[in-house]
Amino acid sequence: MIAGLGAVVPVHGSIEPVLALLDELAGPGVRDDDRPQRVIVVDDASPVPVDATALPDGVELIRRDDNGGFGAAVNTGLRALAEPRSGAGGACDRALVLNSDLRLPAGFASELADHAAPFQPAVVGCRNESADGASGYAARTFPTIGHQVVEWLVPLASQHHRDVLHRALGHDLDAERGQGMVAVDWVSGAVLLLPVAEVLALGGFDEGYFMYTEEVDLQLRLRARGIPSYLDADLVAVHAGGGSSGGEARRRQWLVGARMRYARKHGHVHVLRAGMTAASAANLVWNTGRRAAGRDVKPLAVAREELSLIHRAGKDLPS
């Protein structure tokens, strides 16, 4: 087994789509030296509780009483890894946090741990791609108001394949096209190798983020303590994406609310709201032109929805 490495997989919903990932981590076909010391599934208060007997042998199950979101579920797993468990060796000093909708190549955990070892303590991620090979741009620069305003502009949506737009969205193209271990501002939360003690010393993930942006917030706080982030550009995981979002409307609400929280903590939330409001005005003009050209779009309804998200999303979340 990979001594000192634990894996945490948060789940909310059916365990069936997650079983393939668990088999890739700890199934009968996994070589012992590719197997994490512990693998923990955190059931984040799924409506139908995860059945422990459905899990591969050796995979632990922790069930939360309340659905707290990604960060809260991961914190639950990290705290468990920090404590020695009878029959499972000592405490784990590194945690491999994985989204439940991932697929991993053979030997992934041991390769990532080996590549990351000389750089510890650090946060390490890897490339992620969709099933059809499209990049998820796992390496990013820390968010700015400009990044988020550009993303909100509908007229630019068709141009996101251009390098200038990727950079304007905060995608780190140098890391994306690099090799080996590349220093970055932050890496996607789909795959995160975390130093357990250092993360828990900061209080773990901020549980005020229900979903989205919590990994950025964590890596920014770790950076202030001298803990860097890296992209392992030689490893790729397949990420379905959106598996826990519960629909586009809810996803957008969580995303905008999370970004407003991040801006309240680390930036200027009023400037962000003003910038996104201006972008919505541009979207209204653009959509009005599309409607005049015969496209099936409702400019005023879209504008009302956008403004509601900008000025209301996240206000009921803890500050």
CA atoms within 13 A on the CB side of 200: 17
Do 65 and 76 form a contact (C-beta atoms < 8 A)? Answer: no
Average pLDDT, the chain: 93
pLDDT digits (tens, 9 = 90+) for 262-307: 999 998 999 999 999 999 999 999 999 999 999 999 999 999 999 9
DSSP sequence for 81-135: HTS--TTS-S--SEEEEE-TTEE--TTHHHHHHHHHGGG-SSEEEEEEE-TTS-B
Domain ranges of the chain: 2-142+170-243
Reading the block at residue 318, the tokens are: 């803890």
Task: Specify the pLDDT at position 318.
Answer: 43
36, pLDDT greater than 50: yes
Do 237 and 102 form a contact (C-beta atoms < 8 A)? Answer: yes
Angle at 178 between CA 174 and CA 182, to 5 degrees: 85
pLDDT digits (tens, 9 = 90+) for 51-61: 999 999 999 99
Place of tokens 């390769």: 111
Do 103 and 237 form a contact (C-beta atoms < 8 A)? Answer: yes
- Distance between CA atoms of residues 218 and 182, nearest Å: 19
Reading the block at residue 139, the tokens are: 């390496």
Query: Which CATH number describes the domain made up of 2-142+170-243?
Result: 3.90.550.10
